[in-house]
A and B are shown apart, each in its own frame.
Chain A
Amino acid sequence: DTGVSQNPRHKITKRGQNVTFRCDPISEHNRLYWYRQTLGQGPEFLTYFQNEAQLEKSRLLSDRFSAERPKGSFSTLEIQRTEQGDSAMYLCASSISDRGVNEQFFGPGTRLTVL
Chain B
Amino acid sequence: LAKTTQPISMDSYEGQEVNITCSHNNIATNDYITWYQQFPSQGPRFIIQGYKTKVTNEVASLFIPADRKSSTLSLPRVSLSDTAVYYCLVGDSFKAAGNKLTFGGGTRVLVKP
Q: A-side interface residues toward B, CB under 8 Å? A: 4, 31, 33, 35, 40-45, 48, 50, 55-56, 91-93, 95, 97, 100-109, 111
- Secondary structure at the B interface, as helix, strand, loop or mixed, is loop
- Shortest Cβ gap from A45 to chain B (Å): 4
A41-B105, A42-B103, A101-B49 known; A55-B98 Cβ under 8 A: yes
Cα distance, A111 to B40, chains bound together (Å):
12
Best-buried of B99, B100, B102, B104 by chain A (most CB within 10 Å): B100
Given contacts A100-B93, A101-B49, A102-B93, contact A108 B101 (CB under 8 A): no
When the two chains form their complex, are residues B97 and A104 in contact, meaning their CB atoms are under 8 A apart?
Answer: no
The size bracket of the interface on B is 20 to 34
Residues in B with CB closer than 8 Å to A103 are 34, 46, 49
Interface 1/0s, chain B 90-113, versus A by CB < 8 A?
A: 010110011111111110000000
Is A42 a contact of B106 with CB atoms below 8 Å? yes
Query: Which residues of the partner chain A approach B42 to less than 8 Å between Cβ atoms?
Result: 106, 108-109
**Interface residue from B32, B94, B99, B106 paired with A104 (Cβ < 8 Å):** B99
Chain A residues with Cβ below 8 Å from B45 are: 106
